[in-house]
């Protein structure tokens, strides 16, 4: 029986708009297929051994929470996170968690905070927040006839800019994404998936959830070929209804 170990980093601090729903979706979609899932919650002061996990999740958090965990993430867990990324570990990072993986964050009121420098991007805040439902399109999801469209919700002051070796996660169809200017959303580097899309990202977008599950099973089990079929009639109806409503 296949088994996945998922780590939720800082679940008590990085969990805006129900970001934990992503973990629930991963777990449920695995269990429906007979794949066992263990979830570990690792926060400030906890020992973090990245090798014990197959998927590492960082949710969103405001500047306030980012400051609270700053010392722990930089000084206690930083090396482990950077090594895990270099060793192709699967990560999903949302908004505040996404920003943390980058080089620095300059807040809208001029404070510059050094972040993990695990992936080549940086974030600069602005007074005007970027808020709303949004839709973007991911090439890596365009398989089996699926159009790659993802629906999400964003709320951030930070504008993120990607370095030359980092690809965007997707192309904005409607909304702001990384910075409201270049038309891109999120970041993709090795097996690190970063997005501004909060809360119910994976429950709303089952194809994205399955992509992460299949990727981590492929990493772990040599004999893994593909995921078994699930009836996603309701999930797909909800997804298509929202996309139609947002795009207009
Ligand atoms: N501090 C960040 C910002 O406002 C993150 C916010 C969030 O995670 N929603 O840009």
Question: Is residue 95 among the annotated active site residues?
Answer: yes
What's the pLDDT tens digit per position in 25-44?
999 999 999 999 999 999 99
Question: pLDDT grade, residue 243 (50/70/90)?
Answer: very high
Kindly list the domain boundaries of the chain, sorted by start residue: 3-247
- C-beta 96 within 6 A of ligand 1: yes
Question: pLDDT grade, residue 202 (50/70/90)?
Answer: very high
Instruction: Tell how far the Cα of 97 is from the centroid of ligand 1, in angstroms.
Output: 9
Task: Say what the pTM is.
Answer: 0.97
Instruction: Tell how far the Cα of 108 is from the centroid of ligand 1, in angstroms.
Output: 11
Q: Which atom of ligand 1 lies closest to the CA of 62? A: 1
d(CA 102, CA 87): 17
Which residue of the set 7, 8, 30, 95 is catalytic?
A: 95
d(CA 133, CA 220): 35
d(CA 208, CA 138): 9
Q: Classify residue 50 by burial, with Cβ atoms within 10 Å: 0-12, 13-18, 19+.
A: buried
Q: Both tokens of residue 174?
A: 């409607």
Q: Which CATH class is domain 3-247?
A: alpha beta
What's the pLDDT tens digit per position in 78-118?
999 999 999 999 999 999 999 999 999 999 889 999 999 99
d(CA 23, CA 41): 11
Instruction: Tell how far the Cα of 32 is from the centroid of ligand 1, in angstroms.
Output: 33
- C-beta 158 within 6 A of ligand 1: yes
- C-beta 60 within 6 A of ligand 1: yes
- C-beta 152 within 6 A of ligand 1: no
Helices (H), the chain: 21-31, 63-75, 78-86, 96-100, 201-204, 206-220, 233-247
Q: Which of 10, 15, 60, 105 to mutate to test the pocket of ligand 1 (most atoms within 8 A of CB)?
A: 60
What's the pLDDT tens digit per position in 43-81?
999 999 999 999 999 999 988 999 999 999 999 999 999
Report which of 34, 60, 19, 46 is spatially closest to residue 155, judged by C-alpha positions: 60
d(CA 63, CA 12): 15
Which residue of the set 8, 156, 198, 211 is catalytic?
A: 198
pLDDT at 16: 87
- Sorted by sequence, the CB contacts under 8 Å of residue 14 that are 6+ apart come out as 58, 59, 60, 61, 65, 69, 94, 96, 97
pLDDT at 123: 98
């Amino acid at each position: 029986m296949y088994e996945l170990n998922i780590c939720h980093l800082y679940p008590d601090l990085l969990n805006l708009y129900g970001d934990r729903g992503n973990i629930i979706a991963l777990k449920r979609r695995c269990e429906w297929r007979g794949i066992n899932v263990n979830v570990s919650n690792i926060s400030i002061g906890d020992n973090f051994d990245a090798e014990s996990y197959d998927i590492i999740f960082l949710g969103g958090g405001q500047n306030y929470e980012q400051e609270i965990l700053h010392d722990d993430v930089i000084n206690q867990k930083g090396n482990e996170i950077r090594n895990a990324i270099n060793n192709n570990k699967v990560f999903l990072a949302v908004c505040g968690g996404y920003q943390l993986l980058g080089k620095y964050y300059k807040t809208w009121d001029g404070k510059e905070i050094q972040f993990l420098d695990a992936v080549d991007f940086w974030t600069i805040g602005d007074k005007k927040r970027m808020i709303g439902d949004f839709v973007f399109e991911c090439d890596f999801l365009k398989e089996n006839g699926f159009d790659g469209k993802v629906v999400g919700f964003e709320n951030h002051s930070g504008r993120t800019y990607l370095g030359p070796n980092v690809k965007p996660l997707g192309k904005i169809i409607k909304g702001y994404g990384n910075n409201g200017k270049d038309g891109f959303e999120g970041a993709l580097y090795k097996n690190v998936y970063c997005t501004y899309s909060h809360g119910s990202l994976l429950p709303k977008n089952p194809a994205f959830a399955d992509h992460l599950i299949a990727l981590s099973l492929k990493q772990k089990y040599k004999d893994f070929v593909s995921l078994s079929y699930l009836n996603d009639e309701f999930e797909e109806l909800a997804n298509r209804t929202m996309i139609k409503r947002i795009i207009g």
